[in-house]
Chain A
């Protein structure tokens, strides 16, 4: 029986492994929402702009009408009064006479009165002998008629807004779908949260046995499939992608609105060159942002999740352990390596400056394989030794200073961007106790 998505499960460190499906569902829900908003926007834009103009040009029926009156319609807007041409016509269909004020199907207002008066001058109003003009009426509602046809091309720029939503939402959905097919553990290992350290704790680790070391629960509450513990991956790609998607949407919406205003100004004969020049580079930046986002989505989904398990945790300096590496395909690998690294991190805050500096003080290759082909659906798996040097500093954590140990899985790929994934480990000082 298929298992339902569980809303709450045992918390596995900071990684929410048990609710991986729920997390993915949440992300897909968000991107699905963005996608739906984009679709709805497309529908509305179609309904408001494309369909009415298309119907006027293809479905409205030609007729003749008598021009009775003309006037300049006014609308008080926030940026001043706007104008539109309004012409009163009378036309007859069978035995019924229709009388209406109209001009075009959009009923759009213009910023300049002169522009509207110029339109009205093309029509001659004669109250005594009303002149006849061609008109087109809606067969579905004969009371609706227009005096002009054609397409307003700049209105199509409005599509930029819903299209950007559709692209970002669709991209996110593809990203989510790419992960959905993976096993829960691999998805969690991939999107898992780092075992980031609570910098403001009392200076003791979880059980207080080793003061000023990071807590180990983020690893020890996460059992592995082959070895004892699965290591948490550092830096989930989810939030950076989400932030990028948000930036894409905001930037492109702003650009689309500004572009619409600028184009409208040009069409109405009152161009604002300053705002036009302002919009062009930002429009370019918006497109670049969308391209970058799609590239990042492709990059993140290009390499399937890496799984790393360890035979014991926490590790002790001088100890010997086993590592299990699992890397699914499809990948054409030039080299795949696991590195044991140690970094110092110092944070300094004085005056108005905040700076963080990181120095690597240990780097050692514990596994390497050259030229490897992992086929689609297949998984490369290997077990190797992990021997920690005895004369090294242990993991250390304080509010402003840290000594951090980790394992890096570094892959150099054929014809694609290389990848690197970091896994946190905690190393305790060397003690005379048997290693696993």
Chain B
């Protein structure tokens, strides 16, 4: 058996490195996650993180986990996909939450108006907190608007890759941004492919 290539290098843009929680949310100067958590705790109890696809809403939620748990709150996560109109049956039931609970709904705008009203009604009665993400305003006070500028994208890429090394260059990042706009998730997947293509070109023909 060949004893070569004992371990293969990881692609720094694999999902395990870019997923929310693995990747820190990069705040602009003057803001940090602790301050944001304080603002949420001091607020009316309901707030939304608003921003376009792939701009870091889920990453910001993941970053808020630690300060909110440290504040003694119990977090209930709900991730909505594919236009779900109702809270999944397996998720926390708003009617049973209390003041120490935070219902975190990622993709809040997918919920039907009726479901939002139901959550709001229970929130008034049970006094639990609601933290939502949405692509547009959803009638909740906006806690943070996620927006990504070119410098932030470069900071994220550097945080993942460590340094610029061809084919990973600022020009390649700019080209990926030109293709995917502010969707950082797609930009990072684009860079994943860039590195794989470069690696594959050096590999021997398998077939």
Contacts and interface: CB of A to CB of B under 8 A. Distances in A.
Chains A and B in contact, CB within 8 Å: yes
Interface of A: 348-354, 361-364, 389, 391-392
Contact of A351 (B15, B82, B133, B207): B133
Interface of A is mostly: strand
Given A350-B19, A350-B58, A362 B206 contact: yes
Contacts of A354: 81-82
A392 B15 contact: no
B206 A392 contact: yes
Contacts of B82: 354
B94 interface: no
Contacts of B101: none
A392 B206 CA distance: 8
A249 to B, nearest CB: 23
Contact of B106 (A348, A352, A361): A352
A351 B206 contact: no
B57 A348 contact: no
A86 to B, nearest CB: 46
Contacts of A364: 207
Nearest to A352: B107
B207 A353 contact: no
Interface centre among A350, A353, A354 (most CB of B within 10 A): A350
A9 to B, nearest CB: 36
B206 A352 contact: no
Contacts of B46: none
A387 B187 CA distance: 40
26 contacts: A348-B15, A349-B79, A349-B81, A350-B15, A350-B19, A350-B20, A350-B58, A350-B185, A351-B20, A351-B57, A351-B58, A351-B185, A352-B53, A352-B80, A352-B106, A352-B107, A352-B110, A353-B53, A353-B54, A361-B206, A362-B206, A362-B207, A363-B207, A364-B207, A391-B206, A392-B207
Interface string B8-34: 000000010001100000000000000
Nearest to A340: B207
Interface residues of B, number: 18
Interface string B53-85: 110011000000000000000000001111000
Nearest to A361: B206
Contacts of A391: 206
A353 B80 CA distance: 9
Given A389-B206, A391-B206, 4 more contacts: A349-B79, A351-B106, A351-B133, A351-B185
A14 B107 CA distance: 35
B143 to A, nearest CB: 16
- Which 4 pairs across A and B sit closest by C-beta, in order of nearness? A352-B107, A351-B58, A354-B81, A362-B207
Interface in B136-152: none
Nearest to A349: B81
Nearest to A400: B15
Interface centre among B19, B106, B185, B207 (most CB of A within 10 A): B207
Contacts of B57: 351
B81 A352 contact: yes
Contact of B79 (A351, A362, A389, A392): A351
A75 to B, nearest CB: 35
Nearest to A357: B189
Contacts of B110: 352
Contacts of A351: 20, 54, 57-58, 79, 106-107, 133, 185
A345 to B, nearest CB: 14
A392 B207 CA distance: 8
Contacts of B107: 351-352
